[in-house]
Structure 1
Amino acid sequence: MENTTNDHKIILSCNKHGIVEHISLDTVSFLENIQLPIGLHSLFSPVSIKELGSFWLSIQEKSIVENTMLTMSYNDNHLNYVFSGYLLEETVLLCGNNEISATEKVLGEIMQINNEQANQIRITEKKVVNILNSDENKEISEAFLDDFTSLNNELINNKRVLTQKNKEIESLNKELKAANENMTMFTYSVSHDLKQPVRMVNSFLTLLHKKHGESLDPAGQKYLNIAMDGANSLSKMISDLLTYHQSSNLDTTETVDLNIVFLEVKKILQNEIEEKNALVTSEKLPVLKGSSTGFFQVFQNLISNALKFVPEERTPIISINLEEVDTHFTFKIKDNGIGIAENKKQEVFNLFKRLNGPQQYEGTGMGLAMVKKSIERMGGEVWLESEEGKGSTFFFTIKKSKVAQN
């Protein structure tokens, strides 16, 4: 199926687990023979799966996300849609169409109005010059009056349109504010409504292990240990997810001495450093404007990973270096760990992405996602260079406009 229809739209109603429960609108009958419920990933082309995952996480985080291009695929048919997503309590609405979103239309129309005004002024100026260069002086007054009356009427009409568009933008801002408030309430709910039952499950499993663990046969002991590990992992994931969400609200205007941040991180990781006899060094770092919590998360996660992901027979060596150019600082955190495969370099920054099994290295796969979010929140970029078996170097930038003034 080719995208030939001038105006086609689709609205999917999903639960929070990514299951499509209802098709509210399908103007080209793209999914007319589908059986519901169905997993959302089954309706999209493999080339859009990564974008679909990021789009879905953004909806959960922001409640409203607009203008994401995705390719739907069903029964060997394909359609390109610009999707917007809306989180409405327990339901996620995905609205796709072949037109730009309302927000883009508003901005586009505003730019068109401004361009039309500029063109009208230029046309009027040319008319005035032509009249002044002619002998028809008696028509000057009438020409001025007609042209500027027309222009004034246009400006009044355009002002009226701009006022309406400003109201629409204000309405969108109110919706965004409400979405942020809903996300704050969701965070509170996760913190208090989910962590408590997980702690209770963990406590009872621990108690069961202490009192009756020895009386269980080997298979029973194995299952009990798996359940305890699962409860512990779930508790860590909830805590990390809360930390990840809270990083969106970091104050990025603090004055932060990165040398102090580095020393504090080394102090917290002292046991791991001493156990592995690791060498962790840094050259002198600048004082910047940013988030002390954000920088702390960045240094702690990168250094902790460098200590964790290293072969047992190898002594960890971790160094922090700095390059200064005209516009920004580039920080380099280098290790001699297990390294990362070339085709996995971008995946490591995704939410809950683990490249190694929990049997090899513990963790929830949230650390590098937090690093990326914190750096981008402070206006920087983050990337890595790596070679399997030889270690990795993580880079991140901070603009010089963030340098604190003494």
Structure 2
Amino acid sequence: MNLDRSVRVKASVLVVDDKPDNLRLLSTILTDQGYEVRQALSGRMALTAARIRPPDLVLLDVKMPDLNGYQVCEQLKADEQTRHIPVIFLSALDRSPDKIKGFSSGGADYITKPFQESEVVVRVEHHLEIARLQARLERQNAQRQQEIRDRIAMERELLRSNKDLEQFAHAVSHDLQQPLQSILGFSKILSLQYSQLSEAEVGKYLWRIVQAGERMQQLIEDLLAYSQVDVSRSLEVVNCDRVVAEALDNLQAAISQTGARIAISPLPTIKGKSAQLIQVFQNLIGNALKFTRPDVPPDIDISVELGEGEWVFRVRDNGIGIDPQHYDRLFQLFQRLHLSDRYPGTGIGLATCKKIVESHGGRIWVESKPGWGTTFFFSLPKL
């Protein structure tokens, strides 16, 4: 195996020996072969040099006054930055126990003194090539592992998409059919019996048609919002104070109507998608404005605390609360816990929140006590 000079010159060899004559000789041999050679006169100097700029290989004398070669090698192998560097021992100690100790301390090879120039050249060349091959294998392995992770993520996304399609099919066959049937049914009554109906009855049927149409419109808008959540990773710097301010602006009519009190703690700047995060806060605050106790104005607190590498946001209310037995299905599509005539909704808002939060690398959960209010939590990675 002969490496050409253009390849050799890229390799750096650290030569360690407490005798200057040995350093000069080894440096000359390796420099003539095209290697970049650095020198160290002691074990401590060698450790410092290797940590500042790790070489591709270390030629290491065993007998040195401060730290012997075995100790230097052990410290190199204990350091994540230098553990991969091949170490070749050079020593006049030629007994088997000495060689075994060298290999046990992490050495890749052991050359006895006096050495032949050709032997040093071949062994250095050999171990550099092994190190290159090993590094290439590690890169290929890391690439394969990343490809596997990407494939698993893609399969999970496909499974989630298939589940979404099933749920959309359910919406078309059931949730959208109900208001459509109401519209058709009342329209037929008006068409066939209009002349026999009183003005009040006509008004009642027209109002039912309008209600069904509005419900269908809301359902379609919520389905579109859910389907359009972008799960890609293109994120921007987002000021969460501005996000919440815009969400509240969108809910201003409901806030005024309910007389809600809303307290907001200072919120952080994160990386995310502003429009989607507005949707999360708008849905959670909107629920707090909707699911209220009779004659009790909504009291809503929005706050955040720093967790381990993430921000944990809280939206707390004093509303009707949620029975813990419903937690598991709360964030699923089309899951409604209350009759639509009392608390209107489509059962899509919280599922949309979950999809958005998870697309940002976070999670969402709830804590509640019936009759005492609800707190929604969601986490987002720290900037």
After TM superposition, the score normalised by the length of structure 2 is 0.51
What do the CA deviations read for 1:94-148 (whole angstroms, capped 9, x no partner)?
Answer: xxxxxxxxxxxxxxxxxxxxxxxx99x7999949866525999799579949976
Three-state SS of the structure 1 residue aligned to 2:304 is strand
Whole-angstrom CA distance in 1 between matches of 2:205 and 2:249: 37
Counterpart of 1:132 (choices 104, 108, 111) is: 111
Query: Is the Cα–Cα contact under 8 Å of residues 309 and 361 in structure 1 kept in the other structure?
Result: yes
What do the CA deviations read for 1:209-234 (whole angstroms, capped 9, x no partner)?
Answer: 654576589xxx99999998777655
Shift of the alpha carbon at 1:311? Answer: 2.2
Query: Is the Cα–Cα contact under 8 Å of residues 258 and 285 in structure 1 kept in the other structure?
Result: yes
Instruction: Structure 1: give runs of 5+ residues left out of the alignment.
Output: 1-117, 402-406
Aligned pairs for 1:91-130 (under 5 A) are: 126=103
Corresponding residue for residue 381 of structure 2: 399
Counterpart of 2:315 (choices 333, 336, 345) is: 333
Shift of the alpha carbon at 1:330? Answer: 2.7
Corresponding residue for residue 363 of structure 1: 345
Corresponding residue for residue 325 of structure 2: 343
Give the letter aligned to residue 315 of structure 1.
P
Whole-angstrom CA distance in 1 between matches of 2:257 and 2:150: 57
Percent of aligned positions that are identical: 29
> Is residue 241 of structure 1 aligned with residue 220 of structure 2?
no
Larger strand fraction of residues: 1
Aligned pairs for 1:250-265 (under 5 A) are: 253-265=235-247
> Is residue 387 of structure 1 aligned with residue 358 of structure 2?
no
Whole-angstrom CA distance in 1 between matches of 2:318 and 2:139: 64
Corresponding residue for residue 293 of structure 2: 311
Shift of the alpha carbon at 1:274? Answer: 2.6
Three-state SS of the structure 2 residue aligned to 1:310 is coil
Whole-angstrom CA distance in 1 between matches of 2:118 and 2:205: 98
Corresponding residue for residue 291 of structure 1: 273
Whole-angstrom CA distance in 1 between matches of 2:257 and 2:263: 17
Query: Is the Cα–Cα contact under 8 Å of residues 261 and 300 in structure 2 kept in the other structure?
Result: yes
Whole-angstrom CA distance in 2 between matches of 1:335 and 1:209: 44
Query: Is the Cα–Cα contact under 8 Å of residues 329 and 399 in structure 1 kept in the other structure?
Result: yes
Three-state SS of the structure 2 residue aligned to 1:314 is coil
Three-state SS of the structure 2 residue aligned to 1:344 is helix
Shift of the alpha carbon at 1:153? Answer: 11
Whole-angstrom CA distance in 2 between matches of 1:321 and 1:302: 13
Work out which of the two has the higher radius of gyration on C-alpha atoms and give 1 or 2.
2
Q: 1:202 to 1:378 in 2, by over 3 A?
A: same
Query: Is the Cα–Cα contact under 8 Å of residues 337 and 390 in structure 1 kept in the other structure?
Result: yes
Q: 1:133 to 1:238 in 2, by over 3 A?
A: farther
Query: Is the Cα–Cα contact under 8 Å of residues 190 and 205 in structure 2 kept in the other structure?
Result: no
Whole-angstrom CA distance in 2 between matches of 1:346 and 1:396: 16
Greater mean deviation of Cα atoms: 271-280 or 383-392: 271-280
Whole-angstrom CA distance in 1 between matches of 2:292 and 2:364: 22
User: What is the aligned-residue RMSD (CA, Å)?
Assistant: 5.4
Whole-angstrom CA distance in 2 between matches of 1:161 and 1:325: 35
After TM superposition, the score normalised by the length of structure 1 is 0.49
Instruction: Structure 2: give runs of 5+ residues left out of the alignment.
Output: 1-82, 90-101
